[in-house]
């Protein structure tokens, strides 16, 4: 892979110590905070454009979940939703972030809104992109296949069949070589791909799943955020977090502003970079 991706990621690395390992994060600029929370299989590199745009006027913060990006990748950690929420909560409290604009994508929705539901007084408003923070009745077949015992792990961790596939399947407009290199950089061995597989396994589809109650609690806390401004910026061509999820957010947050983006896939920040930056800037202003 080319190292050109580093030119697009000109941020200082910072680290937060947790009991399970170091969590990497970006903390640039000054002013009211904008907190970016990624999903699977991305990392803070995914947010590079809005991070660069917002640090001129705001405090722009982005986490790499444990196991992702430049964070440690422990092989014996739980990788459960509750623990990702706890890590982000620790970051928010350690940095004492207040009056936050929260920007979320993919699993970052459940994690970020999970923290916001616990601490609504710290969050001002939200930009929500192709994600969920509630239980869903279905799972895409391509995701379910990665959960097949033995074969799923071999595909995801052995052949990088999740992160490598995503740089093609999660975008409608294609990626530059630097973007592909940056998104894949942290996930180059069996060991470093542990979180991409564990995230898939941690999708709770039945009450007996260990993360079912955690996601149910996130869902139960959403009404605590209902009075706060929210923008739904949605890639309508996403086969994973499809327009069904946007409509569910609209149902739960009837005052939210909705911005469906036709011809935009799951990686909204890649397919509609300038539009997303504009929405974040307008929401955070």
CA pair distance 152, 158, nearest whole angstrom: 9
Residue 19 CA, chain-centre distance (Å), reads 22
125-135: pLDDT as tens digits: 999 999 999 99
- Measured from the Cβ of residue 76, the count of other Cβ atoms closer than 10 Å reads 6
Please report, for residues 45, 83, 271, the alpha-carbon distance to residue 50 in angstroms, rounded to integers and kept in the order given.
Answer: 10, 26, 13
Nearest in space to 53 (alpha carbons), one of 278, 285, 283: 278
CA pair distance 214, 220, nearest whole angstrom: 10
Note the pLDDT of residue 4: 87
**Domain residue spans in the chain?**
4-284
- Measured from the Cβ of residue 90, the count of other Cβ atoms closer than 10 Å reads 16
Nearest in space to 103 (alpha carbons), one of 128, 78, 84: 128
| Percent of the chain topping pLDDT 90 | 96
pLDDT confidence band for 1 (50 / 70 / 90): very low
Average pLDDT score over the chain: 96
Note the pLDDT of residue 116: 98
Note the pLDDT of residue 114: 98
CA pair distance 34, 125, nearest whole angstrom: 10
- Report whether 180 contacts 8 (CB < 8 A): no
- Report whether 269 contacts 47 (CB < 8 A): yes
| Percent of the chain topping pLDDT 70 | 99
Nearest in space to 187 (alpha carbons), one of 169, 211, 209, 161: 161
Confidence (pTM): 0.97
CA pair distance 6, 181, nearest whole angstrom: 9
82-97: pLDDT as tens digits: 999 999 999 999 999 9
Judged against a pLDDT cut of 90, whether residue 64 lies above it is answered with: yes
28-45: pLDDT as tens digits: 999 999 999 999 999 999
* Protein fold of 4-284: Rossmann fold (3.40.50)
CA pair distance 234, 245, nearest whole angstrom: 9
**Which class for 272: exposed (0-12), middle (13-18), buried (19 or more C-beta within 10 A)?**
buried
pLDDT confidence band for 101 (50 / 70 / 90): very high
Judged against a pLDDT cut of 90, whether residue 253 lies above it is answered with: yes
């Amino acid at each position: 892979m080319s190292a050109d991706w580093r030119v697009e990621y000109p941020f200082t690395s910072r680290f937060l110590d947790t009991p399970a390992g170091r969590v990497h994060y970006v903390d640039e600029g000054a002013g009211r905070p904008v907190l970016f929370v990624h999903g699977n299989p991305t990392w803070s590199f995914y947010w590079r454009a809005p991070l660069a745009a917002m640090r001129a006027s705001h405090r722009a913060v982005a986490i790499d979940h444990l196991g992702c990006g430049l964070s440690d990748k422990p092989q014996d950690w739980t990788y459960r939703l509750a623990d990702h929420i706890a890590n982000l909560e620790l970051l928010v409290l350690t940095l004492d972030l207040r009056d936050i604009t929260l920007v979320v994508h993919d699993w970052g929705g459940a994690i970020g809104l999970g923290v916001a539901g616990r601490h609504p007084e710290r969050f001002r408003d939200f930009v929500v992109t192709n994600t969920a923070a509630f239980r869903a009745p279905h799972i895409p077949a391509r995701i379910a296949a990665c959960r097949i015992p033995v074969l799923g792990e071999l595909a995801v961790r052995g052949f990088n069949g999740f992160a490598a596939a995503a740089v093609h399947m999660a975008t409608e407009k294609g990626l530059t070589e630097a973007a592909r290199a940056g998104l894949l950089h942290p996930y180059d061995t069996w060991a470093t791909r542990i979180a991409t597989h564990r995230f898939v396994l941690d999708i709770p589809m039945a009450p007996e799943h260990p993360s079912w109650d955690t996601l149910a609690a996130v869902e139960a806390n959403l009404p605590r955020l209902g009075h706060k401004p929210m923008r739904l910026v949605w890639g309508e061509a996403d086969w994973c977090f499809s327009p069904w999820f946007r409509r569910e957010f609209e149902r739960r947050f009837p005052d939210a502003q909705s911005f469906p983006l036709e011809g935009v896939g799951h990686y909204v920040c890649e397919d509609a970079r300038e539009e997303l930056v504009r929405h974040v800037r307008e929401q955070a202003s």
